Amino acid sequence: MNAPRAFDHIDTWVFDLDNTLYPHHVNLWQQVDKRIGEFVGAWLKISPEEARRIQKDYYRRYGTTMRGMMTEHGVRADDYLAYVHQIDHSPLEPNPAMGTAIAKLPGRKLILTNGSTDHADKVLARLGLAGHFEAVFDIIAAELEPKPASQTYRRFLTLHEVDPAKSAMFEDLARNLVIPHQLGMITVLVVPDGTRKVVREDWELEGRGASHVDHVTDDLTGFLQGLAC
């Protein structure tokens, strides 16, 4: 196995949002997940059980349930996003230690998320991290094509003039690191710490040993503090 690649040449730090910048065990996404199921059930007029099956099938096949609902059923993105992100963000607590670590990283810091900017702004505000990021590239900026679509990463790199060879990508889903790795970015997979219950699909927790994953951490704050030393 090759030694993990170093970060001494990195000038742009790219972070996913949900389950990456806050711990998996907060299970904030569980609220979104529930509302997605409600939206699917109401739109298709089906049982909660059938809605759940379709929701997870589209999520895996299309990258987001929203993309599947748009493609298969003509759902408007604005309607979907407005509904599913009506959640209680109060479980999130400020993380000044992470903020300090991010601030010490040399260069630019950006968010690349399959969620909306509105949701990202609320999450960053609760975490106390809003002032540390130059921009949020959301699902609207991605022209509604979610990660892991290759065109989404390329659109992000072009829009923000990012050199992938000098960038690092932090993500909680290994499949979303395949294209960044191919483009030359250093990849970091953020996994649950193993001591708290998390609500995830089994496949979402896979991939920590994949060749496109350069680093794995269950403590993002500690990992970033180590980089800033």
The enclosing domain of 168 has a CATH number of 3.40.50.1000
For the CA atoms of 8, 1, 18, 153, what is the dihedral angle to 10 degrees? Answer: 70
What b-and-e string marks burial along 199-225, b requiring 16 or more CB atoms within 10 Å of the CB?
Answer: ebeeebeebeeeebbbbbbbebbebbb
Q: Are residues 46 and 149 in the same domain?
A: no
pLDDT tens digits for range 150-206: 999 999 999 999 999 999 999 999 999 999 999 999 999 999 876 556 556 665 666
Q: Are residues 122 and 215 in the same domain?
A: yes
Burial class (CB in 10 A: 0-12, 13-18, 19+), 174: buried
Please indicate, yes or no, if residue 3 is contained in any of the structural domains: no
Average pLDDT on 82-103 reads 94
Q: Are residues 123 and 62 in the same domain?
A: no
Q: Are residues 206 and 143 in the same domain?
A: yes
Please indicate, yes or no, if residue 2 is contained in any of the structural domains: no
Structure tokens at 219: 């403590």
The number of distinct structural domains making up the chain is 2
The predicted structure's pLDDT at residue 151? 97
Residue 29, pLDDT above cutoff 90 = no
Torsions phi, psi for 189 (to 5 deg): -95, 125
CATH number at residue 67: 1.10.150.450
Residue 4, pLDDT above cutoff 80 = no
pLDDT tens digits for range 32-67: 899 999 999 999 999 999 999 999 999 989 988 999
Please indicate, yes or no, if residue 145 is contained in any of the structural domains: yes
Q: Are residues 17 and 130 in the same domain?
A: yes
Please indicate, yes or no, if residue 208 is contained in any of the structural domains: yes
Average pLDDT on 121-144 reads 96
Structure tokens at 28: 């904030």
Q: Are residues 51 and 74 in the same domain?
A: yes
Domain limit, last residue, from 84, 106, 121: 84
Q: Are residues 99 and 174 in the same domain?
A: yes
Whole domain around residue 33: which residue ranges? 29-84
Q: Are residues 77 and 149 in the same domain?
A: no
Cβ pair 166, 12 in contact under 8 A = yes
Residue 90, pLDDT above cutoff 70 = yes
Contacts of 138 (CB under 8 A, 6+ apart): 111, 113, 114, 115, 116, 117, 120
Q: Are residues 74 and 180 in the same domain?
A: no
What b-and-e string marks burial along 46-74, b requiring 16 or more CB atoms within 10 Å of the CB?
Answer: eeeeebbebbbebbeebbbbbbbbbeeee
Q: Are residues 21 and 38 in the same domain?
A: no
| Separation between Cα atoms, residue 177 and residue 158, nearest integer Å | 18
| Separation between Cα atoms, residue 153 and residue 134, nearest integer Å | 17
Structure tokens at 82: 């407005």
Q: Are residues 125 and 188 in the same domain?
A: yes
What SS3 state is found at 182? helix
Query: Which residues is 14 bridged to in the sheet?
Result: 110, 169
Q: Are residues 19 and 38 in the same domain?
A: no
